[in-house]
Structure 1
Amino acid sequence: MNSARTIGFIGLGHMGGPMAANLVEAGHRVLGHDLVPELLAAAVGTGVTAAGSSARAAAAADVVITMLPAGRHVLGLYREEGLLAAARPGTLFIDCSTIDVADARSGHEAATAAGMRALDAPVSGGVVGAEAGTLTFMAGGGDTEFAEAEALLTVLGKKVVHCGGSGAGQAAKICNNMILGVSMIAVSEAFVLGESLGLSHQALFDVASTASGQCWALSVNCPVPGPVPASPANRDYRPGFAAPLMAKDLGLAANAARAGGVRAELGLRAAELYAAYAEGAGTDQDFSGIIDTVRDSGVRDRATPPDAPRTAPDNRPTTA
């Protein structure tokens, strides 16, 4: 039996474009749409068929995949822009965007009310993973929906995990990226500390990568050039996973922690640091470039004499 599907793919950016191309390569018919003409043209160059609009893509599709910047874009597309209304009853909607858990659940509800089926399936692995087809998918939704989606998602990734019901995929994604953000800051601080102590980057890497300090932020996305040739640090921090995206994900995690009354001190602080970095020097850099912020902070701290008086909020000198 021919397993090829007709897939509507909405959002053909740095992640969506390569994902759509991999589906085409696997033999599926992909009807794509993106508001940016250059992105759409690039996708067409890989074999994607330009649908003309998101609604037209959905109308002819067995499955609709969305990869969009934020929850408001997903919900707007579902509701105001008629994506759900255009699709055939029973069409499976798979949202691979990283959005708020509440927005993901609202999307499920909207799809179900319109007679559709839905799965939230955010990804981990960045642009490199999207291009190589080695992403990890974290899926939330029903067993039947997951079983149908799994055959497509395994074309795009090396790992597909059913995390639970509606919104569970998004919950897993923001928890994972809170770990990643905190880890990258910790690894960056360790390398800067090592520099101050006269320790070479390679020596620290050789120890930590085979000891208890081993983690993905060190062994795969090492924030200093040299030890891991494929890491962004070796190409001026050109993004694999851009700092603004990390800031966005940590912001979602921070909001969820506050709403749930979770005391996530490191997660909240990481969200603050990445928000500042993404708005400044990290606007167009990989999230591992935050090591430069760590270095700069140390330089500023050393410029202040250790016995300088601290100040109260009104700038009056204060004692410990």
Structure 2
Amino acid sequence: MKIAFIGLGNMGGGMAANLVKAGHSVRAFDLSTPAREAAEAAGCAAFDSAKTACEGVDAVVSMLPNGAIVKAVYENEVIGHAPHTAVLIDCSTIDVATAREVADAAHAQGYKMVDAPVSGGIAAAAGGTLTFMVGGEVHAFDAAKPVLEAMGKAVIHAGAVGAGQTAKICNNMLLAITMIGTAEAMKMAQKLGLDPQKFYEISSQSSGYNWSLNAYTPMPGVGVESPADRDYQGGFATGLMLKDLRLAMEAAEGAGANTPLGAHAREIYEEFAEDNAALDFSGIIKTL
């Protein structure tokens, strides 16, 4: 397939490279010259605008920072410039309302479009092991699935347009809550004199089992290898977690959902992000 890829940052660069590895022809664009050069080195053809990258493609994939940019790119650079037969796939994490608005604009012009935010972080983007949560009509999901499968280990149809974004922000709200709880429990056990490794061995095989403990242990030298063992470098940046928590709280307010722990997690990460936005979100244990 011929695929346009818009947004070649830490996530998008690895994703575009995996499309090339899968045998697709990738037409890449990013505002950053170094990002375009890195994409070329990975086998993509780099273009100076999203409009030209979209010419004659079978699919458009985007990985962009926020909803305002997604809306501007699709309205001004993609819709009406990509062939109407192309499936449009936005992998950015944005607010549900904007995802639906952009998809409605695409549908009005005859395009198939899905929102397909990801879980897995930079390492999974590079390794092709992302999980995609996809919102859109069945026929649009079916068209997008082969493209997404080249970049991930799991492609899950969440429901109608916007359902992918809903799944992502709810999942990451839960992740933030469990990471804070895991960090609290590990530090409390340590201060009470229990060896952290012993606590890990016990809790990871009992009712305290959770992903933040078992697969992403926040204390260095304990449990599995994780960003904690690299001084919290790499992984999923605190600033990005805070972005997702803010999106979740905005959505909760709009839906009338009661999320007291989510709101408290946002407050905790807001304070931590003031000086640590670039650190992995598991670094929250440093505050305890």
Q: TM-score, normalised by structure 1?
A: 0.88
Alignment counterpart, residue 159 of structure 2, candidates 164, 178, 189:
164
C-alpha displacement of 1:208: 0.9
Residue 283 of structure 2 aligns with an amino acid whose one-letter code is G
Does residue 72 of the first structure (1) align with residue 68 of the second (2)?
A: yes
Q: Equivalent residue for 2:231?
A: 236
Q: Give the match's secondary structure for 1:9.
A: strand
Q: Distance in 2 between matches of 1:47 and 1:203?
A: 47
C-alpha displacement of 1:229: 4.5
Matching of residues 1-320 of structure 1 within 5 Å:
5-79=1-75, 81-280=76-275, 282-293=276-287, 295=288
Q: Distance in 2 between matches of 1:128 and 1:212?
A: 29
Q: Give the match's secondary structure for 2:65.
A: coil
C-alpha displacement of 1:154: 1.3
Higher relative contact order (CA 8 A, sep 6+): 2
Q: Give the match's secondary structure for 2:155.
A: strand
Q: Distance in 2 between matches of 1:115 and 1:275?
A: 41
C-alpha displacement of 1:162: 0.3
C-alpha displacement of 1:161: 0.6
Asked if 2 retains the 8 angstrom alpha-carbon contact of 1:205 and 1:218, the reply is yes
Alignment coverage as a number of residue pairs: 288
Q: Distance in 2 between matches of 1:160 and 1:275?
A: 31
Q: Equivalent residue for 1:305?
A: none
Q: Give the match's secondary structure for 1:230.
A: coil
Asked if 1 retains the 8 angstrom alpha-carbon contact of 2:215 and 2:224, the reply is no
C-alpha displacement of 1:74: 0.4
Q: Distance in 2 between matches of 1:57 and 1:193?
A: 53
Q: Give the match's secondary structure for 2:54.
A: helix
Residue 218 of structure 1 aligns with an amino acid whose one-letter code is L
Q: Distance in 1 between matches of 2:24 and 2:62?
A: 16
C-alpha displacement of 1:279: 2.3
C-alpha displacement of 1:218: 0.7
Q: Distance in 2 between matches of 1:51 and 1:289?
A: 38
Identical residues among aligned pairs (%) = 47
Q: Distance in 1 between matches of 2:82 and 2:146?
A: 21
Consecutive aligned runs of 4 or more in structure 1 exceeding 6 Å deviation: none
| Deviations, residues 153-211 of structure 1 (Å, cap 9, x unaligned) | 11111111101001000000011111100000000111111121011110111011111
Q: Give the match's secondary structure for 1:224.
A: coil
Q: Distance in 2 between matches of 1:184 and 1:125?
A: 15
Q: Give the match's secondary structure for 1:115.
A: coil
Which has the larger displacement, 48-57 or 117-126?
Answer: 48-57
Which has the larger displacement, 271-280 or 58-67?
Answer: 271-280
Residue 278 of structure 2 aligns with an amino acid whose one-letter code is D
Q: Distance in 2 between matches of 1:108 and 1:173?
A: 17
Residue 266 of structure 1 aligns with an amino acid whose one-letter code is L
Q: Give the match's secondary structure for 1:255.
A: helix
Residue 285 of structure 1 aligns with an amino acid whose one-letter code is L
Gaps of 5+ in 1: 296-320
Q: Distance in 2 between matches of 1:230 and 1:48?
A: 32
Asked if 2 retains the 8 angstrom alpha-carbon contact of 1:58 and 1:86, the reply is yes
C-alpha displacement of 1:85: 2.0
| Deviations, residues 81-129 of structure 1 (Å, cap 9, x unaligned) | 3321211123211000000000100110111122211000000000111
Q: Give the match's secondary structure for 2:89.
A: strand
CA RMSD of aligned residues (A): 1.0
Q: Distance in 2 between matches of 1:65 and 1:244?
A: 23
Residue 61 of structure 2 aligns with an amino acid whose one-letter code is I
Asked if 1 retains the 8 angstrom alpha-carbon contact of 2:234 and 2:280, the reply is yes
Q: Give the match's secondary structure for 1:136.
A: strand
